[in-house]
Amino acid sequence: MFFVYFYFWFFENYEKLFKNIKLKLNAFRKKEKSPILNYPFSFAIILFILSSFIAVAIADFSNSAMGIYKAYFIEAVFIFILSFDFIKKEGKEKIIFALASSSLLLSLFALWQRFNESFWLGGGERVSSIFPYPNALGLFLGPIIILIYFQIINYIKKEKKEWIKIIFLVITFTTSFLAIYFAKSDGALIAVLASLFFFSLFISRRFLIGFLVLGLLAIIIIFSQNTLRTYVLDKIQLKDFSGEVRKQQWKETWKMMTSSPHLFIFGTGLSNYQKEIKPFHQDGIFFNKDRDPDFRRKIVIFDEKYKAEHWRPVEIYMYPHNILLNFWTELGLLGLISFLALITQYFYFGFKFIKKNKVFALGLMAIMLEIIIHGTVDVPYFKNDLSFLFWIFVSFMAIEWVKKDFSLKEKK
């Protein structure tokens, strides 16, 4: 689908593209200012593509590395250009409703799984919709839920209400949120709630008061019930089994990356993490599932029966499940710096145009915050659909920058 769209876009715009390239080259030769403005984020994007190519070379241009390079970097950045160009001509609403429609279909299928008896008899405990594992559903739906939420507010604030669109988006928001809940994707759930809460505080005074009251009520409910309080605190402090696995992964990754200057600077190369982490990987962890206060001492004593009850095997995952470690291991320091530069510029743009379209600016920043929060414990970029989604959201921010035209005003 990507190549079909790219094919038609290229042959519709190739004359303009070559003309722009010619103008840029002439300006460069004459040492003049180019009449063609660069795409927003262009410097960070160039670093991003360069670091990913170096990462392919580090991985000896293996088939898997080349495949990831094509899908997560080349195609994904082209999606940014295609989306940017589309929004410039058609506006952003069509893309928003396309993403919302995808979310509705995925979430309806997830809800069907939840209430389908044969699914549960087959051993399913967490819904995953069409994806092979539940967290993939949360990773995809999380940022789109944020987008839908702020688009609903945009419509409600209009004098002329478009009720059909509002109802459709409210239904999609509800089903998508329920899908994440039934997927038991805790990272997505926490990221969505935290992002919605934080940025809703800035929409208006009414939202500020309302969300502060909701936040206070949530804290009272959580801390008034021992079971719920323990569950929430365990999730936040990463004391449950999933959290302990993540902490072990991060320790192993840090040991690996600091074991040699080459790994520290250049990383493992694309699709090479599992191979490089093997010498540093621990086959399993001891997990204090019973909250035994004497757990540490008994582990040191190394009682065989106690070990068998509390030992949990841990596999080698494809990535270290932390957004910073993911980019550092795959792309090296240059890749990590390019990603941080992109995110910094993204929020800078967001704050710059907040006076023009407050709700949408807050929404775009909330989307990126959701990706970052979820990314502290998962992999919100290194997957075909997620890399495309990421750059579509970046294109939303880029088009607002161009419309506001800050760069030209600052130069004046």
86-125 residue pLDDT tens: 998 888 999 999 999 999 999 999 999 988 867 765 566 8
Q: What is the DSSP letter of 317?
A: P
pLDDT single digits (tens) 56-75: 999 999 999 999 999 999 99
pLDDT above 80 (res 19): no
Sign of CA dihedral 200, 206, 94, 113: positive
Contact of 380 with 201, CB cutoff 8 Å: no
Question: Which CA distances in Å does 11 have to 78, 87, 172, 375?
Answer: 15, 18, 35, 37
Crossing angle of helices 384-404 and 75-90, in 10° steps, is: 40
- Ramachandran angles phi, psi of 364, nearest 5°: -65, -40
Look at residue 409 in the predicted model and tell me its pLDDT.
45
288-309 pLDDT per residue, tens: 776 766 666 667 666 677 777 7
pLDDT band per the 50, 70, 90 thresholds, residue 179: very high
Q: What is the DSSP string of 381-397?
A: SSSHHHHHHHHHHHHHH
Structure tokens at 16: 């303009």
Of 63-67, 310-314, 337-341, 360-364, which range is least confident? 310-314
**What is the model's pLDDT at position 282?**
87
No. of helices (H) and no. of strands (E), the chain: 20, 2
User: Chain-wide mean pLDDT for the chain?
Assistant: 87
Is the pTM of the predicted complex or chain greater than 0.75? Answer: yes
Minimum mean pLDDT range among 150-154, 297-301, 330-334, 407-411:
407-411
Q: State the residue for tokens 């030209």.
A: 408
> How confident is residue 411, by pLDDT bands cut at 50, 70 and 90?
very low
Q: What's the pLDDT at 77?
A: 94
Helix (H, G, I), strand (E, B) or coil at 287: coil
Q: What confidence score (pLDDT) does residue 232 get?
A: 81
- C-alpha angle with apex 400: 397 to 401, nearest 5 degrees? 90
- Looking at residue 294, its pLDDT comes to 67
At residue 137, the pLDDT reads 96
Provide the residue type at 101 as one letter. Answer: S
Q: In this structure, are residues 161 and 155 in contact, taking their beta carbons and an 8 Å threshold?
A: yes
pLDDT of 121: 58
Question: Strand, coil or helix: what is 284?
Answer: strand
More reliable by pLDDT, 137 or 206:
137
Q: Residue-wise over 272-293: b if at least 16 C-beta within 10 A, else e?
A: bbeebbeeebeeeebbbeeeee
* The token pair that represents 393 in the structure block: 């959201």
